[in-house]
Structure 1
């Protein structure tokens, strides 16, 4: 099944739910859905409280931590907002709202509020048993001690325009051994460490969505600065509808398919060579159709595949219009008859009924060629019947099922990034509009972020996009110094399998974002699982994020980063590397050799390096490289290096070259 179909099904279901936490029906004043019992408000701040009430009236707000009352007018559209000063952390308190009828929210704590965003590794819950984090049952039992940690979950939804209503999936919950099962695991372990050290109540806004791209989380205002996204953002601002988006998507896919001709071996210039009747496909392997090609012997292949079928037509068909019918293709197709294109469809599993003009139809041998595009999962001409029919007499039909020849052409990594399906939220700014814009008035301490996997095939773009997102949120939250701490994506994808995307380069783009002030990065290159994109060890992820916050925001002097390359020097056939964040010396946790280092000369051929660790330095060399130019460390999807500092934090992967076309992953 294609990614586009699976995402469409998931997101369509999600968009059916836009749940707001309901206040008692007797109250006319209704705070925004993010304000409920059990919430945490940011300490020592002028927090924004807002909601709706009877137009033209007034709302009196009485916080339980002060005798002061706050009064605000209700606008003609029924909306109101007030700024309320909060003390240092403490509680529990209550807050009353009165517009003639009183509504009181209870069990409120004052502390620090962190926005916890990103994709599925931030969304992943603590869970239970084998379906939860490592030692889930123990963590669940332990959670009873952390009632000062609270979480609210923002619902997954998207919009073409910035929204005001906060889409809450579930309201603020007090952490205990039952509720913690639904908590974002990374966020919970982050909060737990901070609370253990500082005993400050922690509020967590769980605002994340699995499988999403960074541009979907960024405002249109900022995305217009990037040409890749500007046109789409401008079109939504100009009132582009979903129907218009659907048509635009089909056009984009068609252009993408046409551009792919240039490096497809099936084409000779603009001629579809593999579609010609005279082309000899005698050496091509065979498969039975209709079928998914993964079930016909072609495992783990995504990209383009050419399929050919020779068919003998009777003499009375010659010169007459015929129909080519194919009931299901995963995902797209470009179809030919005797070398001439007769149709194309940019929809998954949609019936194809292509007309073939009589001038192409001749008695005897004819050739049908179909170039199939598969974006992920299963692919192929997978649903029958497959037929040719006389257009004037459909009762005359030829069955095309059975043996076809096939040839793999362009694997997915060699294709351009395909257009995103029009019915998913993975379009520029759509998630920002619905899930970030409504909470911008909510005062927060900072952001923790775990995302990148869905942009790993566009690492170069991420170098611009990710800092843009960080600065965008700081501007929108009106806090230029807002802490933004993120997770570098973990090791993933077994080295003996073709890499799904360029994860090392994406990690490098994340490291580059540290050039922005008030940022920090938790390295997880050692705690992923090669065959699991959702590793269960979320304890160390949360811990490493918390170490950054403790050092930078809570005045706790402790190491918060693993060793990071600070300088390099080429001396003869050796390269001397020095690392910051390595006070007390570097530690190699491999049993014997220091692994993970590769070295290359100007020919760009990398060899495993011999490495010697001494204090804060590592010296690398190889007998195969007389004049080294570059060194890389852990620059693979799933590397083997185990270099740490004395605080148990892993070294940051790095390269000292700018060669983007070199892959170290084993094939």
Structure 2
């Protein structure tokens, strides 16, 4: 390791207030790093207060003075993408840090829980991409927790594709679309909740999170166990590992805060399973995720930090206490409610949701169909962040018109609307004011679908693919599946 090892050697028990006599730079700056193209690139670290720090890269030379608390930050001007290796040099009056083989391209943070962490070695479609992959690099954040926000994390850039199946597939197709190096910062941990990745100050905005953190702070035995594990032998047992990753706030402190404000295009987020144990949790997720996105944008100082949300795929399990009816039921307390919360993030600017309603497994919460997840993320990124004029999503509800005994559902993104099996569209349910849902007879008509049923002579509402594991077949000409929706506002 080079002199940058100073920055990586800091442990999770270190206080975030650092004043060091030695020059350090933030953890994401190592050999083989990928810097974000076409936007300002912050470079930051610590040094003696009052010291002049100089950063040199790609013909730029900029200086700043370390503040009284020993921190410094310099912003490089926006640069075009380039796969040509360059040297990043950082120096003060006493020392110099040098990082080789630094390139410029598209940088994304990939985060979430187990389905983002899940590797691709057992997935033939993912393994088949490896020999063809090029200009992809990864930085994997070591899994850990901390009581306080940390200034550093363990990890280094490597000229290797991400171990994550979803992150690798995303990077592969994005690199093909962008034709520049792609850097993936992987920071994920199975079983983690959204609250685990949430800054503590969000207690001021989210009442339920305030209750969670109040309970956490009062549990002295729990906090003592965490402290003992952090200071004790490694690796942790599986039981202790699961215990740590399920704590609120602590993952953010150790695994996300040290990355800000590293320049990146955005964050790809595949999480939600751990928040789907109850209907209350799934309904709460909308406000939590929206607030979380806005808070992260504050952390990065970027209103345009893009968020790619992976919709939870098909899965048959339902939350306890709700109506029964099986994996195709439109009224069960299934993941349909979580998907609705995830789709509400589209009300915020610079957000995209990758539709996975046609994917997943009835009983396996870790499905292997990860290739289309990564491919759809890349399509959205190409359209929404690279400006490519492509079809990147499936049919989306535009409006529903009532005409006598039937409903006509009109879609956007419906050019070439069809079914993948040539049969009538499935997974449509209709109801009147009684809220008794009946499977609809569905017929394609241009870019719309006509719904009727002899059991509902005057239909008012539609639910499409609003179930845990619906059987869907409706796609557009790009073979992208229609997004699930409901037009009613009945209480679940």
The alignment's TM-score, normalised by the length of structure 2, stands at: 0.83
SS of residue matched to 1:69: strand
Structure 1 residues 581 and 87: CA distance shift in structure 2, 3 A: same
Aligned to 1:31: 25
Aligned to 1:204: 184
Contact 1:224 1:231 in 2 (8 A): no
Task: Report the CA distance between 1:184 and its aligned residue.
Answer: 2.1
Q: Which digits, 9 at most, give the CA deviation of each residue in 1:442-486, with x for residues without a partner? A: 111112111111112222111211111111111221111221111
CA distance in structure 2 between the aligned counterparts of 1:629 and 1:446, rounded to whole angstroms: 40
Kindly indicate whether residue 207 of structure 2 is the aligned counterpart of residue 220 of structure 1.
no
Kindly indicate whether residue 302 of structure 2 is the aligned counterpart of residue 479 of structure 1.
yes
CA distance in structure 2 between the aligned counterparts of 1:579 and 1:632, rounded to whole angstroms: 14
Structure 1 residues 134 and 606: CA distance shift in structure 2, 3 A: farther
Aligned to 1:191: 171
Aligned to 2:236: none
Task: Report the CA distance between 1:18 and its aligned residue.
Answer: 5.3
Aligned to 2:72: 80
CA distance in structure 1 between the aligned counterparts of 2:167 and 2:379, rounded to whole angstroms: 13
Aligned to 1:150: 137
Contact 2:146 2:254 in 1 (8 A): yes
Structure 1 residues 136 and 487: CA distance shift in structure 2, 3 A: closer
Superposed, 1:164-563 pairs within 5 Å as 164-165=151-152, 167-168=153-154, 170-175=155-160, 180=161, 182-233=162-213, 240=217, 243=220, 424-456=244-276, 457=278, 458-493=281-316, 502-563=334-395
Structure 1 residues 140 and 44: CA distance shift in structure 2, 3 A: closer
Q: Which digits, 9 at most, give the CA deviation of each residue in 1:313-338, with x for residues without a partner? A: xxxxxxxxxxxxxxxxxxxxxxxxxx
CA distance in structure 2 between the aligned counterparts of 1:647 and 1:496, rounded to whole angstroms: 30
Task: Report the CA distance between 1:598 and its aligned residue.
Answer: 1.2
Aligned to 1:252: none
Contact 2:398 2:410 in 1 (8 A): yes
Equivalent in 88, 91, 100 of residue 98 of structure 1: 91
Aligned to 1:371: none
Task: Report the CA distance between 1:59 and its aligned residue.
Answer: 3.1
Kindly indicate whether residue 36 of structure 2 is the aligned counterpart of residue 42 of structure 1.
yes
Structure 1 residues 557 and 628: CA distance shift in structure 2, 3 A: same
Structure 1 residues 497 and 192: CA distance shift in structure 2, 3 A: closer
CA distance in structure 1 between the aligned counterparts of 2:13 and 2:199, rounded to whole angstroms: 23
CA distance in structure 2 between the aligned counterparts of 1:18 and 1:230, rounded to whole angstroms: 24
CA distance in structure 1 between the aligned counterparts of 2:172 and 2:414, rounded to whole angstroms: 26
Contact 2:314 2:470 in 1 (8 A): yes
Contact 1:551 1:560 in 2 (8 A): yes
Kindly indicate whether residue 468 of structure 2 is the aligned counterpart of residue 637 of structure 1.
yes
Task: Report the CA distance between 1:245 and its aligned residue.
Answer: 5.4
Instruction: Give the strand-richer structure, 1 or 2.
Output: 1
Aligned Cα root-mean-square deviation (Å)? 2.9
CA distance in structure 1 between the aligned counterparts of 2:430 and 2:486, rounded to whole angstroms: 10
CA distance in structure 2 between the aligned counterparts of 1:539 and 1:519, rounded to whole angstroms: 21
Rg larger in structure = 1
Q: Which digits, 9 at most, give the CA deviation of each residue in 1:533-565, with x for residues without a partner? A: 222222211111111111122121011111011
Aligned to 1:374: none
Contact 2:310 2:355 in 1 (8 A): yes
CA distance in structure 2 between the aligned counterparts of 1:642 and 1:208, rounded to whole angstroms: 32
Contact 1:246 1:423 in 2 (8 A): no
Q: Which digits, 9 at most, give the CA deviation of each residue in 1:82-103, with x for residues without a partner? A: 2222421113101122333333
Q: Which digits, 9 at most, give the CA deviation of each residue in 1:241-279, with x for residues without a partner? A: 7616569xxxxxxxxxxxxxxxxxxxxxxxxxxxxxxxx
Aligned to 1:135: 125
Structure 1 residues 491 and 232: CA distance shift in structure 2, 3 A: closer
Q: Which digits, 9 at most, give the CA deviation of each residue in 1:357-378, with x for residues without a partner? A: xxxxxxxxxxxxxxxxxxxxxx
Unaligned runs of 5+ residues in structure 2 are 1-10, 15-20, 225-240, 318-324
Task: Report the CA distance between 1:653 and its aligned residue.
Answer: 0.8
Aligned to 1:365: none
SS of residue matched to 2:438: strand
Contact 2:328 2:471 in 1 (8 A): no
Equivalent in 105, 115, 120 of residue 121 of structure 1: 115
SS of residue matched to 2:128: helix
Aligned to 2:457: 626
Structure 1 residues 498 and 590: CA distance shift in structure 2, 3 A: closer
CA distance in structure 2 between the aligned counterparts of 1:29 and 1:161, rounded to whole angstroms: 23
Structure 1 residues 163 and 246: CA distance shift in structure 2, 3 A: closer
Superposed, 1:11-26 pairs within 5 Å as none
Task: Report the CA distance between 1:569 and its aligned residue.
Answer: 1.6
Structure 1 residues 205 and 505: CA distance shift in structure 2, 3 A: same
CA distance in structure 1 between the aligned counterparts of 2:302 and 2:256, rounded to whole angstroms: 15
CA distance in structure 2 between the aligned counterparts of 1:604 and 1:246, rounded to whole angstroms: 47
Q: Count residues in correspondence.
A: 447
CA distance in structure 2 between the aligned counterparts of 1:588 and 1:649, rounded to whole angstroms: 10
Task: Report the CA distance between 1:523 and its aligned residue.
Answer: 0.4
Q: Which digits, 9 at most, give the CA deviation of each residue in 1:147-178, with x for residues without a partner? A: x211101122223322222x22x311113xxx
Structure 1 residues 19 and 110: CA distance shift in structure 2, 3 A: farther
